[in-house]
Amino acid sequence: MTAVVVTGGTRGIGLGLARAFLDRGCRVAVCGRTAGSVDRALAELDAGDRAVGLPCDTSRRDQVRALWETAAGTFGRIDHWINNAGVSTARRPLWEQSPEQLDAVVSANLLGVLHGSAVAVAGMRAQGGGTVWNMEGLGGDGRAVPGLIAYGSTKRAVTYLTDALARELRGTPVRAAHLSPGMVVTDLLVRDYPPEDLARAKKVFTILADRVETVTPWLADRVLAGTANGGRVAWLTRRKAAVRFATAAFRQRDPFGEGP
């Protein structure tokens, strides 16, 4: 039975992925920042001994190692490790961001992926194989969005990190790959928008965004199918985005509500 670790698996895309993997017969380990968030996620997943969880600050190597040891000790091996945990700052110019906000974003989005990748690769080399998936996001493709400098910078770094890690893993039984969910409706997507800006942004979101429950089953299927070392699994490709814009006038989409 395939075993998967999803960091930040207690909410949003992470929780959606955990649920999708469980629906496909996998065993899943999740982590969150607090014991309460982990307990709530496990209760919601309701998967018995096929799901385990642990509070974990992914910027701490010792806590990430404890997550690996818990998951591997419970399931015997880990086939896929998904570095999904991440946070964002308020949408403000860089000079208005507090040091604490910047530290939190870099710690979760970059240090967390570095430590997660290091721990997972070491464990997978010892067990004879596996795949580390690093979650991409806005900024990873070079787009610059005012107000999201810290978040975008970390995601740009994660793209480099994954490409470089794949090169280091050549000739080994372990692979590193990119996982790109596209624009997904979570609290991070609409956080801290001024009302007048949110109204304009939602016009784009209505065209490009998707719900967690739409995207995560598709991503789970592709993760389980596997990809080449250094490969990319992407939901919202440039071609798909172009088609959506071209056909927007003829389609009714409501990713924020209950419509199709």
User: Any idea which residues carry the catalytic annotation?
Assistant: 151, 155
Residues facing residue 134 across a β-bridge: 83, 178
Give the residue carrying structure tokens 């974003």.
105
Helix (H, G, I), strand (E, B) or coil at 175: strand
- DSSP assignment of 30-79: EEESSHHHHHHHHHHH--GGGEEEEE--TT-HHHHHHHHHHHHHHHS--S
b/e 146-164 (16+ beta carbons within 10 angstroms → b): ebbbbbbbbbbbbbebbee
The Cβ-side half-sphere exposure at 32, using a 13 Å CA radius, reads: 19
Given the structure tokens 């985005």, which residue do they identify? 241
Q: At a CB cut-off of 8 Å and minimum separation 6, what does 157 contact?
A: 110
Retrieve residue 69's tokens: 């040891």
Kindly provide the b/e burial profile for residues 15-37, where b requires at least 16 CB atoms within 10 angstroms of the residue's own CB: bbbbbbbbeeebbbbbbbbeeeb
